[in-house]
Amino acid sequence: MAQAAVAATAGVSKASVRRIEREAPVTTSEAKVLAQQHRVGRPSIATPWAVTIEGWLAEDGALPSGEIVRRLREERGYTGGKSAVYELVRRLRPVTPAPLVRFEGVAGEFSQHDFGQIDVRYTGGGRERIHFFASRLKWSRFAHVSVVPDEREEPLIRALLAAFEAFGGVPLVTVWDNPKTVVLSRKGDLIAWNPIFGQAALDYRFAPELCWPRAGQQKGTVENLVGWVKKSFFRCRRFHDRADLEAQLAQWLTSGNTQRPNRATGEIPLSRLPQERARLRPLPLPAAAYALKIPVVVTARSRVRHEGHEYSMPPTTLGQPATLQLYPDRVEIVTKTGQVVRHPRGLEPLSLLPEHRAAMLDAVRGGRARLYYQRQSLWELGPAAEAWLTELVHRRPTQWRRDVERCFDLLQTHGPARVLAAFAWGVAHHAIGAEYVTMALRRPGRRNREALGAPQSAFEEGGRYVGIPPTGVAEVVG
């Protein structure tokens, strides 16, 4: 064949055909040797140091790659990047394969638990990152999965206790990877447990067991629990919204636990569960009744802080150590003297009880300190209170003290929500003064109508206040 025909048939250039014709013939065995010696592509810049690295690894097979890079640069004049050295070390380092040890736990002995996350796109529109907590009994293969808000201590413990309730008891050992919510650090066999998780393990009397990092095969036959949930549920289905996802998750768990035989055991998990439940220990407390115990200290402002929330305390407890007991629906703070302070759990960053506010005012010394404590108490209600106080100080720079004192009394009487709503109404209608707050609180029906934009006051003109009424007018109107 002509060179042009060879080039067209082989899909190469004519220059390549001429170059190959000039080379000596290569046998099949020689081609194999050349393929082993010369990798496809440009040679690595670290290749000339391969013999040197092999010698170092022969002396110490566990020599860190970073130390090899340092020696090459300082002792051998290497000027390339570390990635090329890391890749060469990976190919040259001697690796002794370890046999995979698989084991079966006896009934009631092991359960595996892990966090997972996956991005879900809803057919109804929108996208959300879903965090979930997966649990599974080793012997029966009974599984439980909870959707959680995040991967912190409280969601972990709440989901773990929910899994125990679904299992029907507590196993002897729970198997984990190494999340910070379970273990803070480890040096060999010395483990620093997360104190909140450790207290839950003591309360429910189970032994946590950790896998070594990057050694997932230590989980035995329940390996890759998170991957199983992702492949078998999340990646096989479509969801309209979050409610549809949770409904399908419940249906999928019911089907997997009660209808389909497990591939490892050949039996339906529910058929093996009664035998395993007979070996599980009963829960000492229902999941809803368990409180996370967190050590705290009462601050100089007579408050306790936890995860962005503040809870008021009596001024007699200033500086005292206490224990914050976190329930699903409330917070209880127990001082060293046994005093218990209860707060509701909510989304607001500050929970300030009226009796604590009054006690703090009585404990503050000096008229100026009392005044600014009252103003700060109003300020902390929210942005509307801050805007209202700002307007008050600038409109009545020498007379705002009486307004603050009256509004503080209204706060103690009517509560934060109503006073904050009155402040918001005052800012929207430019009605700044304690008399307007009093009027708004005494006429809630009218205030609600005005919030919709209908002027109702005799002091309004075109929906805007044109002047400050004389003292006492608000009381007469009210």
HEC states along the chain? CCHHHHHHHHCCCHHHHHHHHHCCCCCHHHHHHHHHHCCCCCCCCCHHHHHHHHHHHHHCCCCCHHHHHHHHHHHCCCCCCHHHHHHHHHHHCCCCCCCCCCCCCCCCCEEEEEEEEEEEECCCCCEEEEEEEEEEECCCCCEEEEEECCCCHHHHHHHHHHHHHHHCCECCEEEECCCCCCEEEEECCEEEECHHHHHHHHHHCCEEEECCCCCHHHHHHHCCHHHHHHHHCHHHCCCCCHHHHHHHHHHHHHHHHHCCCCCCCCCCHHHHHHHHHCCCECCCCCHHHCCEEEEEECCCCCEEEECCEEEECCHHHCCCEEEEEECCCEEEEEECCCCEEEEECCCCCEECCHHHHHHHHHHCCCHHHHHHHHHHHHHCCCHHHHHHHHHHHHHCCCCHHHHHHHHHHHHHHHCHHHHHHHHHHHHHCCCCCHHHHHHHHHCHHHHHHHHCCCCCCCCEECCEECCCCCCCHHHHHC
What's the pLDDT at 242? 94
CA–CA separation, 430 and 68 (whole Å):
72
Domains, the chain, in order of start with CATH, read 3-92 (no CATH), 110-277 (3.30.420.10), 291-352 (no CATH), 364-477 (no CATH)
* Cα dist from 277 to 140, 165, 282, 389, whole Å: 10, 11, 9, 62
Q: Are 109 and 139 in contact (CB under 8 A)?
A: yes
Residue 48's contacts (CB-CB under 8 Å, 6 or more residues apart) are none
Interatomic CA distance for residues 59 and 61, integer angstroms: 6
The pLDDT of residue 40 is 59
Report pLDDT for 310.
92
The residue ranges of the chain whose pLDDT is under 50 are 30, 33, 214-222, 446-478
Cα→Cα distances 110→99, 107, 114, 141, 275, Å: 22, 8, 14, 10, 14
Q: What are phi and psi of 316, to 5 degrees?
A: -70, -10
Buried b (16+ CB within 10 A) or exposed e, 226-265: bebbbeebbeeeebeeeeebeebbeebbeebbeeeebeee
Which region holds residue 394: left if phi is over 0, alpha if psi is between -120 and 50, else beta?
alpha
Q: What is the residue type of 236? A: C
Rg value, the chain, Cα: 35
pTM attached to this predicted model: 0.64
| pLDDT for the residue 385 | 92
